[in-house]
Amino acid sequence: MSADHTSSVISARVRHVEALLEGRGLLDEGEIDGRIDEFLAGGSPANGARITARAWVDPGFRERLLADANTAIREVGLSMAGGLQEQRLKVVANTAEEHNVVVCTLCSCYPIALLGPSPGWYKSEAYRSRVVRDPRGVLREFGLELPERTRISVWDASAESRYMVVPRRPEGTEDLSEEQLAALVTRKGLIGTAAV
């Protein structure tokens, strides 16, 4: 096989299946490529930060987000549609009693639309295996030291379901606007490997 992916056996098979779906009227010509391009173009940690900031300032939105994230994120103009089917999004919120962290133990499933491309460490076998066995130790390596009384919940993403963490709102931010609050949120905070 050559390095030219347009001539690879797998690419040829994908093009064949795509042509069959188009021929049967199940897909418009170029629909898959268009959806993938849309999905990747809009993916950014700023999206997750906007969702978090809204949850911090709007208790009703926070409640809807935690109950049905896919529906709630549409309120801020976002979605988890990124292919032929919308991925299920579950949002979990950190509290003084519980800290959440996300992993995909099988591969690197991740809400790209809300957090942008996944960081290299998220895909690493070391992170994927260790965060389940020793979440407190892994978080410590990221510089996040949690009180012993804080329970740590590890959420395992899959091909069907993605997770995002709403970090705790930092103290002393009561006077900040939603936009200013969003600027405080990091991708690591949305995964749970940082406080914010």
Residue 108 annotated as binding site: yes
Helix (H, G, I), strand (E, B) or coil at 4: coil
Q: Residue 156 carries which DSSP code?
A: E
Quote the Cα angle for 101-124-51, to 5°. 35
Alpha-helical regions (H) of 82-174: 112-115, 120-123, 125-133, 135-141
CATH of 43-191, one of 3.30.70.270, 3.90.330.10, 3.30.70.1450, 3.30.413.10: 3.90.330.10
- What whole-number distance in Å separates Cα of residue 98 and Cα of residue 49? 20
Residue 109 annotated as binding site: yes
Cα 12 from chain centroid (whole Å): 31
Give me the active site residues, please: 104, 107-109
Averages of pLDDT over runs of 10 residues in the chain (196 residues) are: 49 80 84 68 88 98 98 94 76 98 91 90 94 97 97 94 97 97 98 98
Q: What is the pTM of this model?
A: 0.79
Residue 124 annotated as binding site: no
Domain spans of the chain, in order of start? 9-39, 43-191
Who's near 112: CB < 8 A, 6+ residues apart? 39, 40, 43, 82, 118
